[in-house]
Structure 1
Amino acid sequence: MAGSLDNAKNKAKEVAVEDFNKAKSLAHSAAKSGAYLYPIKGIFFFISHRTLWKPLLSKLVPTFSLSVGVIAFMFLFAYLPQLAVLVFVNGPLAAFTTILLTLSESSTLINIISRTFLLQDALVDTFDGVMVARNQSDVLSEGRQLKSGNFKDPMAKLGKLVKSPFEKFTPKAIIRYVMYLPLNFIPVVGTVIFVLLQGRSRGNSVHTRYFQLKKWSDSERGQWLKENTAPYAAFGTVATLLELIPFASIFFSFTNTVGAALWAADIENRNTTMTEMQNSASQEVKKSA
């Protein structure tokens, strides 16, 4: 009996050490990549380039109205019932954690509704405008017509879309969100884990447009995301935290899109393994043909 307990303890210790080392490795990779800085860079780039404001300004009134309506609805009908449950779990921290939970739920609803019905084209225009501003017209031409001539305004150079824009929210993303929601009932730590998990999911979608422009297959996208889990999770976590800020989530949706485009442009400029991987895949296709 004692031997079995010792074996179980040793196994548990091995698993804990293994998980800790994995987490440490991911954290190191995320820090080394600097991907977590791109949402912040996106804010400054967006603010300093007034021409990029056009898509946001065109959607400001309907999205702000949507945000106010959703947040008001959630705090009126969801805050108190959730507080009644969390007060038994979180004690004096219940009010704070319930606010975070309600804001998270509101943010998710706002993003689902706005990205599906209001912002999709505007976010694509913003991403593409940044790519033009960062001299990535060659990449962008794979998915969009570009007007000839020298334009000081990158948005004015954008023509008709050749490829359909970002993917809309999928039922899988909503199901995953609902599955992770109970984590918020764990004091503080649960909310942090919830944000990190949401951040990882968010990170996997930030370069959907870029992968589309690169003509990557689903398997190529999956391989790249798997090899770069930490950087994308870091970007997604910061982006998620920014979009949790009430009444500003739509603004940060645009700045996060700018940050994602800046990151994509840097990948192209540095000719990283992503570009090399695409070239290799293209060569294999040509050989097989």
Structure 2
Amino acid sequence: MSSSGFVGNVQHKAQEVAKEDLDKARALVADAAKSRAYLYPFKGIYYFLTHRALWKPFYSRIIPTLSLSAAVISGMFFFTYLPQLAILVFVNGPLAVLTTVVLILNESSVIVNLVSRNFLLQDALLDTFDGTLVSRNETGVVSEGRQLKSGRDPMERLGKILKSPFDKFSPKALIRYIIYLPLNFIPVAGTAIFIVLQGRSRGQSVHGRYFQLKKWSNSRQSEWLETHTGAYSAFGTIATLLEMIPFASMFFAFTNTVGAALWAADIEAHESQMDNTTAPSLREAAKKAE
């Protein structure tokens, strides 16, 4: 094969790969838009603000978490802004002033999440997720993971935890973050892609507690997440952007948890409707297939 023929073949293959990736991206965006999962972080904000009973875990952690956020953000800007700006200015030009700020906010968010979710907020976010499900009358699901008391206040009904809480910060998530970090050297688009990739990773974990309560195996969780990749990526991206806002990240961590619980409650409601309209023989076949 001549050199020109080889180059032409490579270009043809590259075009095929690019078209395939573009089609996948379009399908992902279409799936995300159709699912409307990107609305749940905003629904979580509204629901949290209008249900004062859910505020108790938030109040109990507000002072130490805000102190942590202030220390991390101020420290990151003081020690890393100029060094990172000096690097990014070569690839982003004048936009480096903005992209460096976005990068540091993202880095600070990762550090705050790493520390707070492991040491300060884990139990509070767990209670918020379970309490939101209880407020949506999904007590049957919650009772699979903790004891429930009688009463009307959803938070006061939460009893002893029977199953371990949310998974702690995954080392894989930190490794992915470090691997994707160089994307920020690409002007504008690189930072946007970085945030979307972070959102996709974040989306994979938002229903960890729900899957636990449902007693889903790892294989079933993986299958579900793969089938709904667009939806979880959309939720995770919006959640990531909200939690990047300085000093408000803790508030949005709680509202995003509420949004994830509202989404889980809607999934439960949909499954109940499906169960009620599915013939017994088909339900039995589905159980056997699992």
TM-score by length of 2: 0.93
Structure 1 stretches of 5 or more lacking a match?
Answer: none
Secondary structure of the equivalent of 1:154? coil
Q: Which amino acid aligns with 1:26?
A: L
Distance 1:279 1:56, change over 3 A: farther
Q: Give 2:222's aligned residue.
A: 222
Q: Give 1:8's aligned residue.
A: 10
Paired residues of 1:267 and 1:274 also in contact (CA < 8 A): no
Which of these residues, 41, 44, 54, is aligned with residue 42 of structure 1?
44
Please report how far the alpha carbon of residue 284 of structure 1 lies from its aligned counterpart in structure 2 after TM superposition: 5.6
Alignment of 1:239 with 2:239, yes or no, is: yes
Please report how far the alpha carbon of residue 8 of structure 1 lies from its aligned counterpart in structure 2 after TM superposition: 1.8
Distance 1:175 1:120, change over 3 A: same
Alignment of 1:122 with 2:141, yes or no, is: no
Please report how far the alpha carbon of residue 141 of structure 1 lies from its aligned counterpart in structure 2 after TM superposition: 0.4
Paired residues of 1:224 and 1:274 also in contact (CA < 8 A): no
Q: Distance in 2 between matches of 1:281 and 1:114?
A: 41
Q: Distance in 2 between matches of 1:106 and 1:39?
A: 20
Q: Give 2:53's aligned residue.
A: 51
Q: Distance in 2 between matches of 1:167 and 1:280?
A: 32
Q: Aligned pair count?
A: 282
Moved more, 7-16 or 127-136: 7-16
Q: Give 2:164's aligned residue.
A: 164
Paired residues of 1:199 and 1:238 also in contact (CA < 8 A): yes
Q: Residues 98-177 of structure 1: matches in 2 within 5 Å? A: 98-148=100-150, 150-151=151-152, 153-177=153-177
Q: Distance in 2 between matches of 1:181 and 1:78?
A: 14
Distance 1:273 1:166, change over 3 A: farther
Q: Give 1:80's aligned residue.
A: 82
Q: Distance in 1 between matches of 2:114 and 2:60?
A: 19
Q: Give 1:71's aligned residue.
A: 73
Q: Distance in 1 between matches of 2:284 and 2:233?
A: 25
Q: Give 2:207's aligned residue.
A: 207
Q: Which amino acid aligns with 2:210?
A: Y
Distance 1:272 1:66, change over 3 A: same
Secondary structure of the equivalent of 2:163? coil
Please provide the CA RMSD for this pair.
1.9
Q: Distance in 2 between matches of 1:122 and 1:222?
A: 26
Secondary structure of the equivalent of 1:246? coil
Please report how far the alpha carbon of residue 170 of structure 1 lies from its aligned counterpart in structure 2 after TM superposition: 1.9
Q: Distance in 2 between matches of 1:233 and 1:274?
A: 25
Structure 2 stretches of 5 or more lacking a match?
Answer: none
How much identity, in percent, do the aligned residues show?
63
Q: Distance in 1 between matches of 2:5 and 2:74?
A: 58
Please report how far the alpha carbon of residue 7 of structure 1 lies from its aligned counterpart in structure 2 after TM superposition: 1.6
Q: Distance in 2 between matches of 1:10 and 1:284?
A: 42
Please report how far the alpha carbon of residue 2 of structure 1 lies from its aligned counterpart in structure 2 after TM superposition: 2.2
Q: Distance in 2 between matches of 1:19 and 1:65?
A: 43
Q: Give 1:270's aligned residue.
A: 270
Q: Distance in 1 between matches of 2:272 and 2:38?
A: 18
TM-score by length of 1: 0.94
